[in-house]
């Protein structure tokens, strides 16, 4: 009788405890919005997201790749009434660690391609966020006298629990919003024919990776 009871109940409990029983994918809803992009997981636009399968031995690493079409800061499209103009794109991606797991680290990789004559200043800022916390910023300021011909800038931002003060204290299975912001600003645009451009290099992507760990391990 006793064996029968637990024999029936235990498989149900095991199914309930498995992460798969909480159907929510680890990386799910997202949006991309800004003066240079507009798309959402349920709304087609100039950004798409490819979720790579979980990678790494313990399957505790997750990866999302955002592909951008037509996101650029283009001198030919500048509003010449103003000496400064910019293009931005803010990505927000929901992450839902399964039961018994928590977020341990977040990384983001992207490459920027710059074409710039002398006579204007470019500020290129990238910021990685987790909720309302900034995990890191990288800013390149290309000065007035610098000339760049199809040069690439690699941006790598990362933060992990315990290694950086800014990484927030997270609860077990606590869902969060990962954010990545691009801000590209040109200053001193005087001539309508000044050819300059900033766009994403290569396959025009942003890769966001998240490592999860067992809650008991930290």
Reduced to 3 states (helix: H, G, I; strand: E, B; else coil), residue 203 is coil
* Nearer to another protein among residue 100 and residue 119 (C-beta): 100
Q: Which of 60, 64, 66, 87 binds another protein (CB under 8 A)?
A: 87
Q: Which of 108, 129, 180, 208 binds another protein (CB under 8 A)?
A: 129
Q: Which of 26, 30, 49, 135 binds another protein (CB under 8 A)?
A: 30
C-alpha pair distances (Å), 44 with each of 16, 30, 37, 40:
35, 12, 11, 6
- Which span sits near another protein by CB under 8 A: 5-13, 49-57, 140-148, 191-199? 5-13
Q: Which two tokens stand for residue 141?
A: 């300021």
- Are the CB atoms for 106 and 176 separated by under 8 Å? no
Q: Is 35 in the site for another protein (CB under 8 A)?
A: yes
> How far apart (Å, rounded) are the C-alpha atoms in residues 101 and 211?
10
Q: Is 82 in the site for another protein (CB under 8 A)?
A: yes
Q: In this structure, are strands 133-142 and 205-214 parallel, antiparallel, or unpaired? A: unpaired
Q: Is 9 in the site for another protein (CB under 8 A)?
A: yes
Q: Is 79 in the site for another protein (CB under 8 A)?
A: yes
Q: What are phi and psi of 23, to 5 degrees?
A: -60, -15
Q: Residue 65 pairs with which residues in a beta bridge? A: 50, 207
Residues 131-170 touching another protein, rule: CB under 8 A, are 131-134
> How far apart (Å, rounded) are the C-alpha atoms in residues 157 and 140?
14
Question: Would you tell me which residues interact with another protein (CB under 8 A)?
Answer: 1-2, 5-6, 9-10, 13, 16-17, 22, 29-31, 33-36, 40, 43, 73, 79, 81-82, 84-88, 90, 92, 94-96, 99-100, 123, 125, 129, 131-134, 171-177, 179, 181, 183, 185
């Amino acid at each position: 009788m006793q064996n029968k009871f637990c024999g029936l109940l235990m498989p149900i409990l095991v199914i309930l405890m498995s992460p798969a029983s909480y159907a929510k994918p680890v990386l799910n809803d997202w949006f991309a919005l800004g003066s240079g992009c507009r798309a959402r997981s349920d709304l087609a636009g100039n950004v798409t997201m490819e979720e790579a399968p979980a990678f790494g031995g313990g399957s505790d690493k997750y990866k999302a790749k955002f592909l951008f079409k037509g996101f650029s800061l283009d001198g030919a499209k500048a509003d010449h009434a103003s000496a400064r103009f910019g293009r931005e794109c803010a990505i927000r991606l929901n992450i839902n660690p399964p039961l018994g797991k928590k977020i341990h680290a977040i990384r983001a990789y992207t490459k920027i391609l710059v074409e710039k004559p002398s006579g204007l200043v470019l500020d290129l800022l990238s910021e990685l966020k987790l909720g309302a916390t900034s995990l890191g910023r990288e800013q390149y300021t290309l000065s007035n006298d610098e000339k760049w011909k199809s040069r690439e800038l690699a941006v790598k931002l990362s933060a992990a629990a315990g290694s950086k003060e800014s990484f927030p204290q997270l609860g077990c299975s606590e869902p969060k919003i990962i954010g990545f912001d691009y801000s590209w600003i040109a200053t001193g645009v005087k001539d309508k024919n000044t050819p300059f451009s900033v766009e994403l290099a290569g396959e025009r992507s942003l890769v966001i990776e998240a490592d999860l760990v067992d809650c008991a391990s930290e």
